[in-house]
Amino acid sequence: MSPSEPSRPKLVLASASPRRLSLLEQIGLVPDRLEPAYVDEAPQRMELPRNLAVRLARTKALTAQRRMAVEDDFRGALVLAADTVVSVGRRILPKAETREQAQRCLELLSGRAHRVYTAIALVDTKENVHSRLVETRVRFKRLSRADVAAYLTTMEWDGKAGGYAIQGSAGAFVVQMVGSYSSVVGLPLYETAQMLTGNGLPVIEAWQETAPEAQSA
């Protein structure tokens, strides 16, 4: 970047999720800071799954942004947050915290189609909030008792929406998926890249700047 070009905004990821961090790194972005935002994730009465995902992503982004606003080094940073919700119909599945919860989720998903909603929210440098929602349809094979028992031993379900992680062993359960794989993992990369690029952090240009040729020039 030449001295005449404006500096790019810093990027804050409002998440403690290693998979979201890994997905960002996959497209060549390393956040300048991780600032997890822990909020009440309980659905409101009659709240639809898609609305819950968007509300939580926006709440997380704004929660982290308020912390950044009082720090000179991060005032005006881009703050990115995401939330993933799994549902069967209008029924919202929990982020499994116990084996019993995970087992109930897997038994409900067995042989059925479900929807995975991941919302991303970005607070821009002027403190405006932008959000996108990505819906992916996933269908599991019919799970045997042995399938469920074996998966529970992996502990991959711990803290995961719907009681499974598609990037792990549960990938073997997926018969069909229509939509975004990265969204099911936790961060839709196409939508994230477009949103960041549109708000002053051009993703593809970042690839060029970090390429070996650029570093050796």
Distance in angstroms (rounded) separating the CA atoms of residues 78 and 50: 24
Q: Is 77 helix (H, G, I), strand (E, B) or coil?
A: coil
Residues pairing with 161 in the sheet? 95
Catalytic entry in 32, 72, 83, 124: 83
Task: State the pairing for strand pair 78-88/11-13.
Answer: parallel
Radius of gyration for the chain, computed over Cα atoms and rounded to the nearest angstrom: 19
Q: Which two tokens stand for residue 101?
A: 């919860």
Q: Is 188 exposed, middle or buried (0-12, 13-18, 19+ CB in 10 A)?
A: buried
Query: Distance between the two ends of the chain, CA-based, in angstroms?
Result: 13
Distance in angstroms (rounded) separating the CA atoms of residues 5 and 48: 44
Distance in angstroms (rounded) separating the CA atoms of residues 164 and 98: 12
Contact 194, 202 (CB under 8 A): no
Question: What secondary structure, in 3-state letters, does 23-36 show?
Answer: HHHHCCCCCCEECC
83 is catalytic: yes
Residues taking part in catalysis = 83
